[in-house]
Amino acid sequence: MSERTATLAESQTEMTELLLPNDTNNLGRALGGAVLHWMDICGAIAAMRFCNRQCVTASMDHVDFIGPIDLGEVAVMEAYVFNVGQTSIDVKVDVHAENPKTDERRKTTTSFLTFVALDDDGTPTPVPRLVCETDAEKELRAEAVAARADQLESVIERMEE
């Protein structure tokens, strides 16, 4: 990890996509692959904002689609860095569906992605130390750490069944 620091707030990213027919299944709902693609892009932007470097996806944790995004709705992806390693950056990405006619918003999925920062030669490079300057940032980080632990525990339980 470098001596440089960056804040959780510096990484916060929101991205929106209008769900059009090209990204829907035969039920008029978002294709899972399209949602994963948007999550990956939003997460990568958060990681790059955090470290001011090119970042590549190393992993995406388990993803459960808990609700659909319907044709004509807006997919809202929100991401932020919640943990770092030597060259890796952990990002939480939440996805909501928003009905633009009613302003109704509902959660559709969450996942945790890990990115690796690269130098100009494409070699993994140290990332800044994460700093949470406000109570709100500290709370977001703590929630993400706990949620990731819960999600991993749930996956292990499913595998043992």
Query: What is the per-residue pLDDT across 108-136, written as a single tens digit (0 to 9) for each?
Result: 999 999 999 999 999 999 999 999 999 99
The domain segmentation of the chain, as residue ranges, is 5-160
- Strands, E, within 19-160: which ranges? 54-60, 74-84, 88-98, 105-118, 129-131
Q: Does the structure show a pLDDT above 90 at 2?
A: no
Beta carbons of 92 and 47 less than 8 angstroms apart: no
Percentage with pLDDT > 90 across the chain: 91
Confidence at residue 155, expressed as pLDDT on a 0 to 100 scale: 83
CA distances from 18 to 26, 98, 108 (A): 17, 9, 15
- Residue 100 burial (10 A CB sphere; 0-12, 13-18, 19+): exposed
What CATH code would you report for 5-160? 3.10.129.10
Structure-token match 């996805």, residue found:
95
Distance between CA atoms of residues 96 and 76, nearest Å: 5
Q: Does the structure show a pLDDT above 90 at 29?
A: yes
